[in-house]
Amino acid sequence: MSLLEACKWLEASWLGTAIRESKWGFALIEMVHLLALALLGGALLITGLRVWGFLFKEQRPGAITRDLGWLLVGSFAAMLVSGILLFADGPLRYFGNAAFRVKLLLIVGAATTGLLTHLLGVRGQIGQSASTVMKAMALLSCTLWLGAGIAGRVIGVL
């Protein structure tokens, strides 16, 4: 089954039809998606500001990363599930959309970078100051997530 055929199948499925025909379905799912994005962005900003030494200087960067880990994972999971449901509303609209494809690539890069940053911070149990590599990875992760959010906004324009 090709990707195009899978998109056609999903659009015709009960899930795609239910979301498309629901009066408030898409809006509610999008609200969850944006709330999860805000939570993820806030947790990433706090983590990044600590790694860069601007916030919570008395705590190890790994401790902040560990403490916010549940929020990062939970908000990412909520974004993933709600994103799949939003996609099910009209997969053929997204199939050829360049901004959608860029968004997916940025999300993969951001999630990978975030996971590596987390592993460096928590597993590595770094001291009071973060290494240059961890600072660069935290900045890259925040930048990739910001790019994914911008690409998400551009989807509706293209």
User: How does pLDDT run across 29-80, given as a tens digit for each residue?
Assistant: 999 999 999 998 898 888 888 878 888 777 776 677 778 888 988 999 999 9
> What stretches of the chain adopt beta strand conformation (E)?
none
Q: How far apart are CA 77 and CA 92, in angstroms?
A: 24
Taking the C-alpha atoms of residue 91 and residue 94, their distance in angstroms, rounded to an integer, is: 5
Taking the alpha carbons at both ends of the chain, their separation in whole angstroms is 27
pTM: 0.82
What is the identity of the amino acid at 110? A
> Which amino acid type is present at position 130?
A
What residue segments make up the domains of the chain, in order of their start?
3-155
